[in-house]
Amino acid sequence: MSKKAKILLVDDDDVNLALLEAMLAPLEYRTILAHEGWEALGKVAQEDPDLILLDVMMPGIDGFEVCRRLKDDEATRFIPIIMVTALDESRAWLEGVKAGADDFLTKPINELELTTRIRSLLRVKKLNDGLLQARAHINRLTRHTTELLRFFNPLHFDLERTLSELFNTLLLGEKDEQKPKAILAGFKKKEDVWEGYIYLRKGGVVQRDPEVVCLSQESLASVQPWLSPGATSKEEYFLYNDNSVGKNRDQFDVTGALRTALSGKVDVVRNFVAYKSGTLLMMALNYPELVTSYELDAFRNLMALSHLLKIISDQVTEVGEAFHYTVGALARAAEANDEDTGNHIVRVSAYAQFLARALGCSEDFIRVLSYSTQTHDVGKIHIHPDILRKPGRLSPSEWAIMQQHTLYGAKILGDSPWLAMARKIALEHHEKWDGTGYPSGLKGEEISMAARIVALADVYDALRNSRSYKPPFAHEKARHIITHGDGRVQPSHFDPKVLEAFRDLEAKVAAVYEELQDSPAEAMPQ
């Protein structure tokens, strides 16, 4: 049932107001009365009428001024105004046109002419309201989409969290927008069974009901008659209104089926839009007024975009996992010719993650660091095994060749953005805070943070392992060498903040070494 149009009648003569009301009574419009200009402006702000019948000659400000003010205001300029006057017709029409009036009537008013012009202007108003509503929905959809894309991270996309943030926007907002009172978010868990949660608008906040809602395919089947044109078996979207014309409520008891499924969560089920695709089911329930294709399109597009981002995220994750496996394989291949075998790269990565977290690095930084660290010695692929495995210390010429593995590593890893940190680590993990390292003699913060962290982690693991020129050291001796020096290794080689983090975490670092001596790479903490 369409709502009654509200018509504001403005005239300083009670007789004229009563006459206008009598003429409009058979059409069942809702009439609002005002006796002078200032009162009329107040009633417009308070009631938001659909049309105004405005007398010209009134005390205070006249009808022309009232009309000018309403037409100059963005919020009221599209309300149709019919000016009613007993003045000279040509002069009144000219002034009315200047003020922005939409139509004119002269006294005495002809009832048929009045009702005909009102119907015509209300039709225009309805069409205009539809255009404004469409514009509002497009703007709202754009805002939602922009907000969604702003925080989209394909490597860490949480669909449920993203939808929860969208629901806050859908359920809350400008009071003049039509908002649902609840949203059902469901995910397919097994054949013909959906599980999800109800998000409710209570006061000025959105709350998620803690209990899981279970929906069977049977409970959803009753909405199938309302599938929208163009829907497919993979993507279905529909709307339902309480007074849907031509629907047999006894045959298609949508509210009954959903009321049973949502018992205790939503008291009634009315006026809703829904979207179902793949494993995702979303329903916006209990709009205060009848839902239209505008609400359906906005809701459907938001949900479809969220679902698309989830698919993209899943595909990126698959590619990422393959990428990480390839990086690990490359690192293991480099290690094969070295005397460092086993889990050296895994342990160094684990130490580095603990140190980075203690230093307050972001989780994204730590995630990239976890796989980038594994390739720190990839350049050793280009170093002859006789040098890598030579008993005793290297000669000056052999040492010069060994130092080249940092440059080789950077060249192998190349310029891919995915490997930018790995390249930095491979190139700089033998640089020292005091500038005595290689290959470039970088000093202090000239060295990347990732390389500074890996430098200490690599030295600690090398001290713990046996070498052709040294036996394996216990944790206490390795810790003492790093923090106090032994001639070859000095505390000045390390970033003081990284060194402090190592002191705080030395027990955890020692435990990681013991745990991962012979453990598979999968044991590496994240």
pLDDT value of position 301? 75
CA 289 to chain centre: 27
Shared domain for 342 and 447, answered yes or no, is yes
Q: Is residue 433 packed enough to be buried (19+ CB in 10 Å), middle (13-18) or exposed (0-12)?
A: buried
3-state secondary structure (DSSP) of residue 376: coil
Distances (CA, A) of 459 to 141, 227, 230, 325: 54, 65, 64, 25
Query: 59: closest CA among 39, 42, 43, 79?
Result: 39
> In terms of DSSP bridges, do strands 193-202 and 213-216 run parallel, antiparallel, or are they unpaired?
antiparallel
CA 232 to chain centre: 26
Query: 335: closest CA among 375, 299, 296, 386?
Result: 375
- Kindly state whether residue 70 falls inside one of the protein's structural domains: yes
Shared domain for 112 and 239, answered yes or no, is no
Q: Does pTM top 0.75 for this prediction?
A: no
pLDDT value of position 340? 56
Q: What is the CATH number of the domain that holds 485?
A: 1.10.3210.10
- Kindly state whether residue 149 falls inside one of the protein's structural domains: no
Shared domain for 515 and 382, answered yes or no, is yes
Shared domain for 500 and 381, answered yes or no, is yes
pLDDT tens by residue, 344-387:
888 999 999 999 999 999 988 998 999 899 889 888 888 888 88
CA distance 310 to 306: 6
Shared domain for 14 and 60, answered yes or no, is yes
Shared domain for 490 and 406, answered yes or no, is yes
Q: Which of 74-88, 172-186, 269-283, 372-386 is least confident?
A: 172-186
CA geometry: angle at 17 spanning 15 and 20, to 5°? 110
pLDDT value of position 229? 46
Shared domain for 207 and 354, answered yes or no, is no
Which domain does 487 fall in, by range?
A: 337-523
Shared domain for 189 and 240, answered yes or no, is yes
pLDDT tens by residue, 230-250:
444 456 667 767 654 333 333
Which DSSP string do the residues of 461-524 spell out, in sequence order? Answer: HHHHS-BTTBPPPPHHHHHHHHHH--SSS-GGGS-HHHHHHHHHHHHHHHHHHHHTSS--GGG-
- Kindly state whether residue 322 falls inside one of the protein's structural domains: no
Shared domain for 356 and 498, answered yes or no, is yes
Shared domain for 306 and 341, answered yes or no, is no
- Kindly state whether residue 332 falls inside one of the protein's structural domains: no
- Kindly state whether residue 142 falls inside one of the protein's structural domains: no
For residues 433 and 447, the answer to whether their CB atoms sit within 8 Å is yes
Query: In the structure, what pLDDT confidence band is assigned to residue 522 with cuts at 50, 70 and 90?
Result: very low
- Kindly state whether residue 408 falls inside one of the protein's structural domains: yes
How many independent structural domains does the chain possess?
A: 3
Shared domain for 191 and 268, answered yes or no, is yes
- Kindly state whether residue 323 falls inside one of the protein's structural domains: no
Angle at which helix 449-464 crosses helix 363-372, to 10 degrees, equals: 50
